[in-house]
Amino acid sequence: MGPRSGRGLYLGRRAAALLAALLLALLAALLALAALHGRCRREAPPSPAPAAPGPAAPPGPAPASGSSGRRLPRHLLPLHYDLELWPRVRPGEAGPFAFSGQVNITVRCRQDTDAAVLHSSGLRSGAAAVRGPLPEAGAAVEVVGLRQEEGEVAVLELRGRLRAGRRYVLQLGFQGLLKEDLDGLFLTRYTDQGRSSMLIASQLEPTYARTVYPCFDEPAMKATFNIRIVHDPSYVALSNMPAIDVSEMKDENGSLWTVTTFNTSLKMPTYLTAFVICNFDYVTRTERGNEIRIWARKEAVKNGYVDYALSITGPIFSFLEDLFNISYPLPKTDLVALPDFGAGAMENWGLMTFQESSLMYLPSDKFTSRKAMIAIIVSHEIGHQWFGNLVTMNWWNDLWLKEGLASYFECLGAMFVEPKLSLDKIFYDHVVQPVLREDNEIGVRSLSESEDKFKGSFSLMALFDSITYNKGASITWMLSGFLSEKLFFRALTLYLEEFSFSNANQDDLWSHIQMVVDSQDEVKLPAPVKQIMDSWTCQNGFPVLTLNLTTGTISQEQFLNKKNENSTDSYNNTWIIPISWMRNGSSQPLMWLDKSNKVFPEMQVSESEYDWILLNVNISGYYRVNYDQLNLKRLVHLLENDPKSIPAVSRFQLIDDVFALTQFGYIQIETALELTKYLAREDELFIWNMVLLNLVPENLESTLKNYEVYPLLKKYLLKRMLPIYHYYAGFIRQNVDALEGDYFAQVYLEKLFETACWLGLQDCLNLSSELYAKWMDNPEYKIPFFIRRTVCCYGISMGSEKEWNFAWEMYNHTDSTKEDKDILLSAMSCAKESWLLYRYLQYGLSDTLFSSNCTSIIILYVVTKDIGHRIAWEFVTENWPLLGERYGKELLHDVLKVMGRFVNTDVQIQELQVFYNVTLEEDERVATTLLLELTKSENMERRELLIKVASWLQKNVDD
């Protein structure tokens, strides 16, 4: 399944972590609302709950959001499912809708039992029977009762006993409600060619199969499936395997239905079963006998929006087949672009599903960043066909075995079909660096946990996070690096061959890698593979290495906030660490640190300032490096004189490490700032993006303008930014199409230009005004998408009512995309005239113009702007009763919390506290008061930090 923090120099350390978590939680909530209800659309009232579909046992409790539920006893082992699903949906009907079905599960009894226990959640059970033992004709075991128990479990009570070693068939009818919640079997509505339509799809990972049909819903309980879907004749039905028969039947009212029967599946877990019933078109091609079809809305297919995805899917399959030397075992693969899909993408065997935006590329779009995103997502899901589908983890505690490995191979597959992309830059920037920012707190879990930790109501969805995906990919990258790709891929082939159509845990992977290591003499390891890798997967966090050049000593400790160093784990905070390094520009043999500290005589340096050491070259290891002052001074000198002598990814890592070390109290801020002196000679946008996110965090831009550091920072940064700014500004003015192959320009130019305008660079302000005026003169003109947000913001900021009114007009234009609307929604808060901002907030109150979630977003946008904070504050306090009545307290409380993030003085904090005390309930005041206390702490820490920054800038601003 596809997954996918703020950072900054000026955030207090302890306060920053908690405040950032609150902000991210709010943004996630708002984004979820936008995804579910449509960005700023009027929402339809919820449909009434449908009546029960028929008499039978009461339904089980509603599914607990992907909870692990109760583990099943191992008395019965499923071998095969015969499954019929019948969603009672007709085009044009309003609903509510239900579905019914029948499942016959062939099981092998492993231990005598008088009950059959399996998963079922939210279903109403129909008739139940048990046939067998097989193959005795007519044999049966009487079912005396069927009850639902806690833990999403159904129990068939039997009068006789099922005998060990014999086979039986459990026969169960079931009925359920077809909801629109994007989990289990769900219905979604969309528009195609101007007409409203519906489709039915499924998302069963991790534990939603039990909400669709009674089953043994655990990854190790694999079986084969014969699936049959009954549906309206105007729809086509898809499942994991090719359809082998399409027939007709009539229901009890004589109405005609189509029955699509599918071929027998391969052995697979329940979470990979998949169903789509739709009225889509498709494009197709065949690659090495694999029939590939990409399904989407008719309009999208006609316009060629899925042609790019079709062109890369087959080559990625072939690339991975050749890499593993294992053929894809299915005869067909369907990829379906769903207009609304919560998971982003899902790797169901033979029937992959995607959020529409993850699969569609407009042929008129010349730029590669969109292609790169599609290539990465498609590669991720194709990688799962081997890691997850062919070989499945025993239990969810080793989820990283599929998600981490798929996240590693997503980059390799994307680079294969888009060779202009830089693998090491993208991998570190998109995969490693974000998780290093999260995997540094004591409470963060380890990559692999014992099964005992995932019981009962534990939400398995919590495992689908950056630790599983990004850290899993990062340690895979490191493993591949110290083994060599040749040995690593050879070991993976052995692993896949051994456990095909079966299950494995991480020790199985380690043992097969060990086999390959033992069979050769080229690569020598300091310890068994399991011992090395368990130090990375079985404890949380990662190490920081401290290098002393005078003695050649390297020590390690867990990278944690210096104020919170207490940690308990079985490895005593030590890792077995591969150290790639270079000396004076020359690569050196790999070293290993296998204890808390160790002397490496090779790393002692001479007195020459040209004698320097660089560790973790190109981020080959999952750790940070803290150099002593001697080496840092030499690296600063090197960067100022010959920055290209350090590889680009290592420059990124070096600067990112020092800012992270500063934030966590390992080094002083002045040390980090020294490494920015060279930036006038830095031409890599992905490095500039990281620097600017540290020096000018997006959520503190308006705050920084209130301190004396701003004019110093402006002078210091602009002097260094001008070369790279003018380089790209030239392209934008004269030949923007020349950037179509520059991935990082398309991803990160926005931050560079936005910062240049924020710092008041006149050329940036003029360029924004020029491009915005060009758009106003010709609404068909397209502002380059990668600076569109900045241009719209500063075009309005530098303009007057005329520019604002044009944005409002374009926002309400029927042809505006969701992305365009979001950009304009933000840009309209950039106005410099107070009355325009107040009018904008008043517009937000109109229930005919905006929905409730959009109103809160408008307030949030305004509150973050230079002059907007006070205006938003006054607006909220004046309109609190109306806002509370119309939109409910929940969203408004979120707004108040975020407003607390942008207070800058203790007087403002006191004012906010008084308002909280008047408007909030007692329990709500506790949480907001805590937030304000953290804000006060952060303000004190920020003032102290900015005094140091200003002092350093005063001494260095003219260098």
The answer for residues whose C-beta is within 8 angstroms of residue 917's C-beta and 6 or more apart is 925
Which pair of tokens denotes residue 89?
């949906």
**Alpha carbon distance 451, 507 (integer Å):** 14
Give strand pairing partners of 185. 202
φ, ψ for residue 216, nearest 5 deg:
-95, 90
Q: What angle do CA 152, 157, 162 make, to 5 degrees?
A: 110
Enumerate the active-site residues: 381, 469
**Alpha carbon distance 308, 312 (integer Å):** 7
Minimal CA–CA distance to 186: which of 212, 206, 205? 212
The answer to whether 30 touches 857, Cβ cutoff 8 Å, is yes
The answer for residues whose C-beta is within 8 angstroms of residue 274's C-beta and 6 or more apart is 202, 204, 238, 239, 240, 346, 348, 349, 350, 351, 353
Q: How many Cβ atoms sit within 10 Å of the Cβ of residue 187?
A: 21
Residue 224 three-state SS: strand
405 by Cβ neighbours in 10 Å (0-12 / 13-18 / 19+) ranks as buried
The answer for residues whose C-beta is within 8 angstroms of residue 876's C-beta and 6 or more apart is 859, 883, 892, 895, 896, 899
Residue 315 three-state SS: helix
Q: What angle do CA 209, 212, 218 make, to 5 degrees?
A: 20
DSSP β-ladder status, 624-627 and 543-548: parallel
The answer to whether 549 touches 604, Cβ cutoff 8 Å, is yes
Q: How many residues can be counted in the chain? A: 959
**Alpha carbon distance 50, 442 (integer Å):** 46
The one-letter code for the residue type at 442 is I
The answer to whether 334 touches 350, Cβ cutoff 8 Å, is yes
Q: What is the DSSP letter of 223?
A: B
Which pair of tokens denotes residue 489?
């891929």
Q: What is the DSSP letter of 735?
A: -
Q: What is the DSSP letter of 917?
A: H
CA distances from 510 to 421, 486, 533, 956 (A): 31, 16, 8, 51
The answer to whether 684 touches 691, Cβ cutoff 8 Å, is no
**Alpha carbon distance 712, 27 (integer Å):** 32
**Residue linked to tokens 């008088």:** 114
Residue 50 three-state SS: coil
**Alpha carbon distance 538, 115 (integer Å):** 37
Identify the helix (H) or strand (E) that includes residue 391. strand 391-393
The answer to whether 792 touches 829, Cβ cutoff 8 Å, is no
**Alpha carbon distance 875, 78 (integer Å):** 61
Residue 231 three-state SS: strand
Identify the helix (H) or strand (E) that includes residue 775. helix 762-777
Q: How many angstroms separate the first and last alpha carbons of the chain? A: 50
**Alpha carbon distance 137, 770 (integer Å):** 83
**Residue linked to tokens 């840009």:** 827
The one-letter code for the residue type at 266 is L
The answer for residues whose C-beta is within 8 angstroms of residue 72's C-beta and 6 or more apart is 117, 118, 119, 153, 216, 218, 221
